[in-house]
Amino acid sequence: FAQLYAPLNNLGFVYRSINQSLVDTERLLKLLAEPTEINDNPNAKDLIVENGEVEFENVSFSYDHRTTALHGVSFKVPAGSSVALVGESGAGKSTILRLLYRFYDLGPGEGRILIDGQDIRDVSQASLRAAIGVVPQDPVLFNTGIGYNIGYGKFDASSSEIEAAAQAAQMHERIMSFPDGYETKVGERGVRLSGGEKQRVAIARTLLKNPPILLLDEATSALDTSTEKDIQKALQNLQRGRSSLSIAHRLSTIASADLILVLKDGQIVERGSHKELLALDGVFASMWADQITASESATVIPPPAEPV
Ligand code: ATP
């Protein structure tokens, strides 16, 4: 990966003018292991997003044609709503995001993925990816100014647009605390940003891109309370009016999702609101209980050992 980043950083400018949509490629995503070649169908039309409704219709998928990554997955993300994916490692959460971003195509008999009724295999990849914003778990930033990193979301973004996006992403004040403000270099050659700050830069960038559909991969690591609050606020601003599919790891976001899908071995085993799933007292309820116990034991300071 490092070898891929270095030239990318140096060529940042060229890259940006060549293909803006590459912003969201796997280097920023980390969702992709080995891409397969996806070609536009010769009759591909541009995706027309009217409302931003996403639908998975009986989707099954295998990476290697032997083991099943997804099996018979059907769900809808109604326009403007938020759907959270939960489930243990390997359950198929990232596969759902990768398929929607079309890193892999579904074969015949593997179901369909639709955006506002259009099968994503029938639309141009450029138009599909222009409609989708991605906030990865660990965003990669260029070794340039922080303002540039945000402005990357939109060609020709003005400095006031960049600042407004940073405001909405709860990052403006932090940026102003750096000696060079928006010109401050980030990354190896500049200030080091925390995981939560990098994620807010990615949120600001996505706000500028202004896509109707969002893919969010939350950081797994525990965040301190004020960072957590800032990220929640930033995500709320980003998700407003957009359809979103997120891989949820932390309790706080799970609770506010419109719909939660619980995945296990590539299948949806439970679905509903947070309240409904707790009442069901099944897989989700036990995951919830485990997380509560884990977070409690992480914050409780053990009593000093008795002297012997
Ligand atoms: P995690 O929480 O660990 O990211 P996940 O729920 O996102 O897990 P997926 O990455 O979607 O799970 O994986 C679903 C299944 O597909 C797993 O069995 C996994 O081993 C397999 N898989 C994922 N990526 C690939 C790949 N590139 N090639 C082959 N198999 C893969």
Residue nearest to atom 17 of ligand 1 (CA): 90
Residue type, 125: Q
The amino acid present at 282, given as its one-letter code, is: G
Q: Tell me the H-state helices in 32-145.
A: 93-100, 125-130
Asked whether the ipTM of the predicted complex exceeds the cut of 0.95, the reply is yes
Nearest to 69 by CA among 98, 44, 92: 92
pLDDT tens, residue order, the chain (308 aa):
344 444 444 444 334 333 344 444 444 454 444 455 688 888 999 999 999 999 999 999 999 888 999 999 999 999 999 999 999 989 999 999 999 999 899 999 999 999 999 999 999 999 999 999 999 888 888 889 999 999 988 888 999 999 999 999 999 999 999 989 999 999 877 788 988 899 999 999 999 999 999 999 887 666 777 888 888 899 999 999 999 999 988 776 788 899 999 999 999 999 999 999 999 999 999 988 888 777 666 554 444 454 44
Position 3 scores a pLDDT of 42
Query: What is the Cα–Cα distance from 206 to 165, expressed in whole angstroms?
Result: 9
The vertex-228 CA angle with 225 and 230, nearest 5°, equals 110
Backbone angles phi, psi at 30, to 5 degrees: 60, 20
In the chain the first and final C-alpha atoms are separated, in Å, by 52
Q: Are strands 132-135 and 213-217 parallel, antiparallel or unpaired?
A: parallel
Q: 248 alpha carbon to ligand 1 midpoint, in Å?
A: 15
Whether the Cβ atoms of residue 170 and residue 200 lie closer than 8 Å to each other = yes
Distance 48 CA to ligand 1 centre (A): 30
Contact 172, 253 (CB under 8 A): no
Instruction: Give the pLDDT confidence score for residue 13 in this predicted structure.
Output: 39
Place of tokens 């990476």: 63
Indicate whether residue 69 lines ligand 1 (CB < 6 A). Answer: yes
90 Cβ closer than 6 Å to some ligand 1 atom: yes
Does 91 contact ligand 1 (Cβ within 6 A)? yes
Distance CA 53, CA 79 (A): 4
Pair 207, 169: CB distance under 8 Å: yes
Reduced to 3 DSSP states, what percent helix, strand and coil does the chain have, rounded to the nearest 5? 40, 20, 40
Indicate if ligand 1 lies below 6 Å from the C-beta of 294.
no
Find the 92 Cα to ligand 1 centroid distance in Å.
Answer: 6
Question: What atom in ligand 1 is closest to the CA of residue 34?
Answer: 27
In the block, which residue shows the tokens 């010109």? 183
Rounded to whole angstroms, how far apart are CA atoms 26 and 220? Answer: 18
Cβ(33) – ligand 1 distance below 6 Å? yes
The pair of three-digit structure tokens given for residue 237, joined into one six-digit string? 């601003």
Q: Is the CB of 93 under 6 A from ligand 1?
A: yes
Q: Which residues pair with 77 in a beta bridge?
A: 54
For a pocket test of ligand 1, which of 30, 31, 89 has the largest count of ligand atoms closer than 8 A to its C-beta? 89
* pTM (predicted TM-score): 0.84
Tokens 């990193």 correspond to what residue?
Answer: 149
φ, ψ of residue 168 to 5 degrees: the values are -65, -25
- Give ∠ CA 267-255-299 in degrees, rounded to 5: 105
Q: Which of 95, 104, 269 has the most ligand 1 atoms within 8 A of CB, as the residue to mutate?
A: 95
Q: What is the pLDDT of residue 308?
A: 42
Q: Residue 72 C-alpha to ligand 1 middle, in angstroms?
A: 16
Residue nearest to atom 27 of ligand 1 (CA): 33
Hey, whose CA ends up nearest to atom 21 of ligand 1? 69
53 CA → ligand 1 middle, Å: 25
**Residues in CB range of 76: below 8 A, 6 or more apart:** 53, 54, 55, 56
